[in-house]
A and B are shown apart, each in its own frame.
Chain A
Amino acid sequence: MALKTPEEFRQSIADLHLQIYLFGQKIDDYVDHPMIRPSINCIAMTYELARLPEYEDLMLATSHLTGKKVNRFTHIHQSTGDLSKKVKMQRLLGQKTGSCFQRCVGMDAINALYSVTYETDQARGTQYHERFKRYVQYLQDNDLVADGAMTDPKGDRGLAPHQQPDPDMYLHIVEKRDDGLVVRGAKAHQTGACNSHEIIVMPTVAMREGDEDYAVSFSCPANAEGVYYIYGRQSCDTRRLEGNDLDVGNAQFGGQEALMVFDDVFVPWDRVYLCGEIEFSGALVERFAGFHRQSYGGCKVGVGDVLIGAAATAADMNGVARASHIKDKLIEMTHLNETLFSCGLACSYEGVKMPAGNYQIDMLLANVCKQNVTRFPYEIARLAEDIAGGLMVTMPSAQDLADEKIGPIVEKFLVGQCDAPVIDRMRILRLVENLTLGTAAVSYRTESMHGAGSPQAQRIMIARQSNIDHKKELAKALAGVGKPWDKGRAKVPTAVAGA
């Protein structure tokens, strides 16, 4: 099958008849639901750009499995060039959507599993890798979206998976049958889950002895029997139900998260990629997290570009664009944003070819990238709010602007720079609000903090690879630590002595 069109993608998601709950109700026409549609538009953009010749270099790649052109989101990275193009593609999509476009988790999951299944087979004599390659080809041939599902609810964080009072706090095997597995549990915070054709499940922590039933990785169709979704709320989400495009800030695009429940789901053996090999669960978590921490050096930068542009436009419309402190704040925002991009590219350029043949990012630099992402978007957002002014959160509604009596009053008092129409000033301020406080803040702020692992997770990885002993040796060598000291040579300088 050729690359899907955006329309074919939308129809294919509708055809899945996913079990989605929102506000306590099952949503049948989820593709056209006003709160869900913007997130579907985001993934549709990954299909749309892939069909444009000007973006082909970033959006498409040549499959090492078939030699065919495939969407890069289904590609196994074959070079450091592939790794850097991935980051650039993500920046592009962040720019086009101003949102989380949700397709990265599946790409990062397949690239992590590719090497882990190979190494598991080498050590354990299992047959996961060839099985997984067939699955990747299935994704590529059908141009599918896969959700990379890692985060379990986790219950009491102080207890191992098998020690939890409720065993379902970590997704686990409840039955092994001749034809496959039955699994139960849930995956939390699942970005793009309701926009995906497939789910790729991975364990969420390094498993220890006793956790064998929790060390499981597999794929299943998003509409597998027993899988259902409880849609996550976002700040200001019901503005999308008001029927106007002004107060939402970004009417076209948005992100999406859901609690994904596995209620005794059957998985045939040919979809299982890890089953009890606890010693490989840690590598899988680290590699998925590493790839995803690289991803944030692209996607968040693209959204940052939009926010910087919105702040600069707000400054124009407020009539303060020439103020030196405004210019300086925009420079600072750009500096922070490009630093994130530098980190995303650096871990790509320093990537390595794994024994399985795929390329993996440099883990230390990927973790440094994500650690910066836990901070810089917050500062960029703070500066955007500073530049935009308080009106972005006190502005009257679209309904007020449209009102026959109140509307002219709103228009009179919301005038800024004389050439800027009030409606456009309101639109750009609503976009800043959307990105910093509204639905898009879920991905631009809190997801920057906790997505792909909370800050402490990166610090643990950074500590593990920081090579402190080498740094100590460098310092000791220059300071002369350990050298004998001749105190007789500690003389007062001649000039001082003669004074």
Chain B
Amino acid sequence: MKIVYRGGCNPHIDRTAVAAKLPADDPDVGPGATVHLSGCPRACASDHLLVSDDPGTVVVAGELVDGVPTPAPELAPTVTRKLKE
């Protein structure tokens, strides 16, 4: 799984804490899986896209996952679930 960071000037969430809770080497997660991990809703890591056109990519932008409001504690579980879908 690839994690893309960009920006980081105004984090509403602890990006590295979210990344640390994502599954590493999980066989249910496809090899091309990518997480764009932005600290705020400006979504710098995904070039300002709240949802990626690539189905293997999940976008986290502050407390949003693929554009859906998600409380900070739920970010990693939500991303994990989406990566396995």
Task: Using CB atoms and an 8 Å cutoff, list the residues of chain A in contact with chain B.
Answer: 80, 119, 350-355, 359, 362-363, 467, 470
Contacts and interface: CB of A to CB of B under 8 A. Distances in A.
A79 to B, nearest CB: 9
Contact of B48 (A80, A363, A467, A470): A80
A287 B22 CA distance: 32
B62 to A, nearest CB: 9
Interface stretch (B25-33, B38-46, B76-84): B38-46
Interface of B: 10-12, 40-43, 48-51, 61, 66-68
Contact of B49 (A119, A352, A362, A467): A352
B41 A362 contact: yes
Contacts of B12: 467, 470
A363 B63 CA distance: 14
B67 A467 contact: no
A376 to B, nearest CB: 24
Most B CB within 10 A of own CB, among A351, A352, A353: A352
A377 B54 CA distance: 45
Contacts of B68: 355
Contacts of A467: 10-12, 40
Contacts of A359: 48
B11 A352 contact: no
Contact of B42 (A354, A355, A362): A362
Contact of B41 (A119, A363, A470): A363
A467 B50 CA distance: 19
B17 to A, nearest CB: 13
A355 B41 contact: no
A470 B11 CA distance: 7
B49 A353 contact: yes
Contacts of B67: 119, 354-355
Of listed A351, A353, A355, residue having the most chain B CB within 10 A: A353
A352 B10 contact: no
Nearest to A79: B48
10 contacts: A352-B41, A352-B42, A352-B61, A354-B51, A355-B67, A359-B48, A362-B41, A363-B41, A467-B10, A470-B11
Given A467-B12, A470-B11, A353 B51 contact: yes
Nearest to B49: A353
B10 A355 contact: no
Given A363-B41, A470-B11, A351 B50 contact: no
Contacts of A119: 67
B67 to A, nearest CB: 4
A14 B49 CA distance: 43
Contacts of A355: 50-51, 66-68
Contacts of B42: 350, 352, 362
A206 to B, nearest CB: 14
Nearest to B50: A352
Nearest to B44: A350
Q: 7 nearest interchain CB pairs?
A: A355-B67, A353-B49, A352-B48, A355-B51, A350-B42, A352-B43, A352-B50
Contacts of B43: 352
A462 to B, nearest CB: 13
Contacts of A350: 42, 48
B42 to A, nearest CB: 5
Contacts of A363: 41
Contacts of B50: 352-355
